[in-house]
Amino acid sequence: MATWTRRQVLAQMGLAAAAVHALDPHELCCTMAAHAQTADKDLFELKKIGDGVYGAIAHQRYKTNCNGAVILTDDGVIVVDTHSKPSASRALYSQIQELTKKPVIKVINTHFHFDHTQGNESYAATNSKVEIIATEQTKVNLTTPGSGVGGVSFVETQIKAMPAEIDKLKADIQKESDPAKKKNLESSLQQAESYLQELKSMKVTLPTRTVTTTTTLKENGREIQLHVLGRAHTNGDLFIYLPKEKVVATGDALIDWMPFMNDGYPEDWINTLTALEKLDFTSIVPGHGEVLPKSHVAFFRGYFVDLIAAVKKASADKATLAEMQTKIGDQLASRYEAAMSKYAVGRYRDLRIPWRRQPRS
């Protein structure tokens, strides 16, 4: 089968998000019962994966926080990804302080999306010498207007969008008669209002060091490899690999939800995951969801393989976009729906595509 350009694939998929009810994990909201009440100190659960290596698994909030990875070295702490807001990264920092009083010396951003980078500023505030590392392309995306759901200009986009979200929540509260649901909506409203306030004072803090190819950090007591494996969830994804501990942190190139493809490259994604799979690891800290075994790489990649094949077949059969939207999700459901619907959010049948934009070529 001929290789399609990214534009062809996305156009045929309509994009895939629409065809198969893929969701945008970056705009999850509104119905988070118990977790909506979570105090800031409990935003993350620190799960020990190896000696001095933790997955910071994010609890659900009105504005999604990504998972982090926390790596202790003899000189200080290295944190992977910084969530959707400085108050969230400060909350994780206070949990880290219970493990060690050493400073955070390096922050690594897996990609440019807002829910992985908007907390960078809080680490710069705790340590003016902190090094913030990402791929060169991620830095370009953070500083180029219209790159997608993250970066300097996207803060303004969100500030403009939030008042309407807040009005909708207020209207929903008025309409809701169930006391428990009303309480959740009120919690969401409170979170939405404080998120808007944080956005207004946000200082987007850019990488201070960039990489373009796979690079090894020789930290005191720890080897950390930064792998540039190709395009996947974005055109600047970075994979953080600890060869001794056999752990990898993937950002959203691999998650335990449905993949978010709006800024992605579905065909490249397959090859990038195949390259990732060649590394010797046993545990994955994904961008969202629980710590996963290596076998999830093959499962997650299988979804792209099957999705692209199904869209190409439907396209060859002259199916309309509307037909694809109803049929392909059903067609792949037996293989993927249960495993991609484990959480209250990010499910196979969810459909949220805010801030949608035209695919780039």
CB proximity list for 21: less than 8 A, separation 6 or greater? 258, 329, 348, 349, 350, 351
Residue 81 engages Zn ion in binding (rule: CB under 5 A): no
Nearer to Zn ion, 14 or 251 (CB): 251
Q: What is the dihedral of CA 47, 50, 54, 60, to 10 degrees?
A: -40
| Residue span binding Zn ion (CB under 5 A) among the ranges 39-47, 60-68, 336-344, 350-358 | 60-68
Q: Is the preceding peptide bond at 15 cis, omega within 30 degrees of 0? A: yes
Q: Which residues, numbered 97-126, are part of the site for Zn ion (CB under 5 A)?
A: 113, 115
Residue 292 engages Zn ion in binding (rule: CB under 5 A): no
Helix (H) or strand (E) holding 114: helix 114-117
CB proximity list for 261: less than 8 A, separation 6 or greater? 10, 13, 15, 16, 17, 22, 233
Nearer to Zn ion, 222 or 301 (CB): 301
Nearer to Zn ion, 111 or 222 (CB): 111
Residue 24 engages Zn ion in binding (rule: CB under 5 A): no
Total number of residues shown for the chain: 361
Nearer to Zn ion, 71 or 261 (CB): 261
Residue 256 engages Zn ion in binding (rule: CB under 5 A): no
Residue 329 engages Zn ion in binding (rule: CB under 5 A): no
CB proximity list for 317: less than 8 A, separation 6 or greater? none
Q: Which residues, numbered 268-287, are part of the site for Zn ion (CB under 5 A)?
A: 287
Q: Minimum Å distance from CB 224 to Zn ion?
A: 21
| Residue span binding Zn ion (CB under 5 A) among the ranges 13-21, 61-69, 72-80, 334-342 | 61-69
Whole-angstrom CA distances from 237 to 92, 229, 233 are 23, 8, 7
Interacting residue with Zn ion among 66, 96, 189, 340 (CB under 5 A): 66
| Residue span binding Zn ion (CB under 5 A) among the ranges 77-85, 168-176, 245-253, 306-314 | 245-253
Q: Indicate the residue type of 308.
A: I
Burial of 171 (0-12, 13-18, 19+ CB in 10 A): exposed
Nearer to Zn ion, 63 or 113 (CB): 113
Q: Minimum Å distance from CB 121 to Zn ion?
A: 18
| Strand runs labelled E in 221-332 | 222-227, 239-242, 247-251, 283-286, 292-293
Q: Give contact residues for Zn ion (rule: CB under 5 A).
A: 66, 113, 115, 252, 287
